[in-house]
Amino acid sequence: MTDIEIEDNAVIPMFTVVIPTYNRSDMLKKAIKSVLKQTCDDWEILVMDDASTDSTEEIVANTFTHSKIRYYRMEKNSGISKVMNKALGLTRTPYLIQLDSDDWLAKRTLERFKQVILKNQHSQKKEKCALYYGNMNVWRVYKGKYRKRKGIRNRQIRGKYDFLQYDGWMVAPRWYRVNALQEVGGWDTSDKYGGRIMEDRRMILRLIEKFPVQHIDKTLYNRTKHRKQLTEPGSIQKRNYLRRQTYEYYLQRWG
């Protein structure tokens, strides 16, 4: 299944929760259920299947029949940036949040975001922010059991040069204004790895060049660490190479 049909008279919610996934059928349920349990119901889910070879499609089709859950399967495995660009094209709401399929949202995440967005819309900010993000807990997963590893409290990023110095865990959850994503051209796939590495940091660099970002000082996201995340040999070297290329590009671009 690749095509998504949308009814002409469908009510458009405020948020699309995009869940990119590849061969994580065992963890996908937890991610989806965390959205279904939200205290705010102004959302829809878009599951983006990057050509999984496991039972992902069957789980979504047979377990999650909610009318606000949509499913799209890529024709071939394409990598996270191409998946997110496709999701951007399928998104019809003004805001998009990326929820990795092995993570989950805190119960009041959408409510918190909505409160801040509505406040900004009624203030002098006039909704200029392109990205909202919060704090998160990190969990270790072993043999199906979850153990909290630590909490991560992010800080307010004050401009593009400040973000260049932002090291450590990438900010999450990442809540994007859709028309800002469209204005910067979506996720970058021009590198030699096709956008499969550092897609989050590179997207923020695109956005923060033009727009402010805002930190919400609440724990809104749960990130997992597990064995399936073991990366391929040479991935550290690839990441370091791309980081250097990216930073040199922006430092020259910004003068």
Please name the residues in contact with 57: beta carbons below 8 A apart, sequence gap of 6 or more: 1, 49, 71, 73
Q: Which pLDDT band holds residue 22 (cuts at 50, 70, 90)? A: very high
Nearest-angstrom CA–CA distance, 26 and 8 = 34
What are the two backbone dihedrals, phi and then psi, of residue 140, each rounded to the nearest 5 degrees?
-95, 130
117 Cβ neighbours under 8 A, 6+ residues apart: 14, 95, 127, 132
pLDDT, one tens digit per residue, over 28-77 is 999 999 999 999 999 999 999 999 999 999 999 888 778 899 999 999 99
Q: What pLDDT score does 124 carry?
A: 62
Task: State yes or no: pLDDT of 178 exceeds 80.
Answer: yes
Q: CB atoms < 10 A from the CB of 99, how many? A: 24
Reply yes or no on whether the pLDDT at 213 is more than 50.
yes
Per-residue pLDDT at 233: 61
Among 132, 84, 92, which residue's Cα sits nearest to residue 12? Answer: 92
105 vs 128 pLDDT, higher one: 105
**Residue with more model confidence, 233 or 15:** 15
> Which amino acid, one-letter code, is at 203?
M
In the predicted structure, residue 138 carries a pLDDT above the cut 90 = yes
Query: Closest Cα to residue 246, out of 182, 203, 186?
Result: 203
Q: How many CA atoms lie within 13 A of 56 on its CB side?
A: 26
Please state which of the ranges 10-19, 89-98, 123-132, 223-232 shows the lowest mean pLDDT. Answer: 223-232
Kindly tell me if the per-residue pLDDT of 158 is higher than 70: yes
CA pair distance 153, 92, nearest whole angstrom = 31
The vertex-24 CA angle with 18 and 27, nearest 5°, equals 85
Question: Which of 35-39, 86-90, 120-124 comes out lowest in average pLDDT?
Answer: 120-124
d(CA 123, CA 133): 19
Predicted confidence band at 122 (pLDDT cuts at 50, 70, 90)?
confident
Phi, psi values for residue 19, rounded to 5°: -115, 95
Mean model confidence pLDDT for the chain:
91
Asked if 220 and 136 count as a contact pair (C-beta separation under 8 A), the reply is: yes
